[in-house]
């Protein structure tokens, strides 16, 4: 029974062709390590991280410069989820479909839905890392890019990354549907082919690269609901570069992901990494306070927002593997791993022959990590 899945390969790859073109923006934008090796929930996975490239001045000479060496770094993260989506048919159902070829069409669509469910959950987990952003720009509750010809939202997100020392190459911007609608509907300069240098937005709705960002669209962009905290003031002075800020007097919750400002520093919108439910110490995400925040300084929690994200690719990591199997295998008649050639995700496909029915299973194990908050900026909408 070792070849029972071989005949399904065309159907599986047809399903991948559909899934890989869904509106997922985070998966192609982050640093990703995906292969068909197996891993279990809780397992640490070590992966390689290439450093940013450096440039040099070209000087003609008799031989090539003696440069190009790099220290290839490593990082590790845990596999936090291993999930599967099932597809099952019994003999009577297959007979009811008949022999017109519709079975393979329906089966392809079922595999498409199974893979889509897994892809969307990975996308949602990546989108949930917005709580690790360094600082925020934009107006909560107002979709970015709403003023025609105004690229301030690009510029402000770039400024945060610049101020925090993020590499200038490989910067990513993942936007929700409202921000994308404003770009497509109001930023006409981007779809004037003679000004934009391409007709991709006009013809195909593809924005590609703008202001140094590779722009992506995602249906997984999260909505943040602010905490209930009010009337909090600082207890003691906080120096520039410090993340922990003691709060007194106030009441209510300050949540991870809340955007806060201080009376002495209204120019910077800080993202809370660790909150409180009563007076105590909150932690701002790195690099912490930009200026000295004095004692007795009032803190204001901003309104809820849509969490569009700007980041350097290396700041957010995704590791995917095939789910673990016991030594010698389980009751599956056959198991194969297929890698989506577009997204790079490796899915595990298993077939279980049961009593008068057959059950397929599409599985994936993964973990996500915000590796460097300093290189992540929140563009509120």
Kindly state whether residue 242 falls inside one of the protein's structural domains: yes
56 and 378 Cβ atoms separated by less than 8 Å: no
Kindly state whether residue 232 falls inside one of the protein's structural domains: yes
pLDDT tens digits, residue range 218-230? 989 999 999 999 9
* Number of structural domains found in the chain: 1
Residue 269: which domain range? Answer: 226-303
Which alpha helices (DSSP H) does 128-223 contain, by range?
152-163, 177-186, 193-196, 200-204
Q: Give mean pLDDT, residues 236-261.
A: 96
Rounded mean pLDDT of the chain? 87
Which alpha helices (DSSP H) does the chain contain, by range?
9-19, 26-29, 91-97, 102-127, 152-163, 177-186, 193-196, 200-204
Q: Residue 277 above 90 pLDDT?
A: yes
Kindly state whether residue 15 falls inside one of the protein's structural domains: no
319 and 7 Cβ atoms separated by less than 8 Å: no
Percent of the residues in the chain that have a pLDDT greater than 70, as a whole number: 92
Euclidean distance between CA atoms 188 and 329, whole angstroms:
57
Kindly state whether residue 235 falls inside one of the protein's structural domains: yes
Kindly state whether residue 286 falls inside one of the protein's structural domains: yes
Kindly state whether residue 279 falls inside one of the protein's structural domains: yes
Q: Give mean pLDDT, residues 132-153.
A: 95
Name the band, by pLDDT with cuts 50, 70 and 90, for residue 100: low
Whole-number pLDDT of residue 300: 97
Euclidean distance between CA atoms 272 and 302, whole angstroms:
11
Q: CATH code at 257?
A: 2.40.30
Kindly state whether residue 252 falls inside one of the protein's structural domains: yes
Name the band, by pLDDT with cuts 50, 70 and 90, for residue 155: very high
Q: Residue 150 above 50 pLDDT?
A: yes
Can you read off the two tokens belonging to residue 268?
């910077």
- In order of 114, 348, 360, the CA distances from 82 in angstroms are 14, 11, 16
Least confident of 1-15, 29-43, 99-113: 1-15
Kindly state whether residue 165 falls inside one of the protein's structural domains: no
**Cis-peptide into 235, omega within 30 deg:** no
Whole-number pLDDT of residue 208: 67
Q: Residue 204 above 80 pLDDT?
A: no
Instruction: Work out whether strand 281-284 and strand 244-248 pair parallel, antiparallel, or are unpaired.
Output: antiparallel
pTM: 0.85
């Amino acid at each position: 029974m070792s070849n029972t899945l071989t005949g399904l390969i065309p159907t599986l790859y047809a399903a991948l062709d559909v899934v890989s073109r869904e509106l997922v923006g985070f998966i192609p934008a982050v640093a990703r390590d995906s292969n068909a090796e197996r891993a279990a929930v809780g397992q640490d996975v070590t992966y390689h991280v290439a450093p940013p490239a450096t440039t040099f001045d070209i000087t003609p000479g008799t031989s090539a410069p003696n440069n190009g060496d790099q220290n290839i770094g490593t990082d590790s993260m845990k596999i936090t989820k291993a999930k599967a989506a099932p597809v099952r048919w019994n003999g009577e159902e297959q007979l009811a479909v008949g022999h017109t070829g519709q079975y393979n069409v329906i089966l392809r669509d079922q595999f498409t839905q199974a893979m889509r469910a897994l892809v969307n959950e990975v996308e949602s987990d990546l989108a949930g890392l917005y709580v690790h952003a360094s600082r925020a720009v934009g107006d909560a509750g107002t979709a970015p890019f709403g003023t025609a010809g105004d690229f301030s939202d690009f510029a402000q997100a770039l400024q945060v990354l610049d101020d925090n020392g993020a590499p200038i190459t490989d910067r990513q911007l993942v936007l929700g549907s409202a921000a994308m609608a404003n770009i497509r509907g109001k930023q006409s300069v981007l779809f004037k082919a003679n000004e934009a240098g391409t007709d991709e937005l006009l013809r195909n709705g593809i924005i590609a690269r703008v202001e140094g960002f590779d722009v992506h669209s995602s249906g997984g962009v999260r909505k943040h609901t602010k905490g209930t905290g009010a009337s909090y003031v600082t207890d003691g002075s906080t120096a520039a570069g410090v993340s922990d800020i003691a709060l007194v007097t106030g009441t209510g919750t300050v949540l991870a992901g809340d955007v806060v400002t201080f009376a002495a520093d209204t120019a910077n919108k800080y993202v809370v990494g660790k909150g409180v439910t009563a007076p105590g110490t909150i932690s701002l995400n790195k690099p912490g306070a930009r200026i000295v925040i004095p004692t007795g300084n009032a803190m204001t929690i901003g309104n809820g927002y849509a969490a569009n994200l700007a980041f350097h690719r290396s700041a957010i990591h995704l590791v995917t593997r095939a789910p673990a199997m016991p030594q010698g295998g389980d009751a599956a008649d056959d198991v194969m791993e297929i890698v989506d050639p577009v997204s790079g995700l490796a899915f595990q496909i298993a077939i279980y022959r049961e009593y008068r029915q057959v059950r397929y299973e599409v599985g994936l194990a993964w973990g996500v990590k915000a590796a460097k908050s300093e290189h992540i900026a929140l563009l509120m909408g």
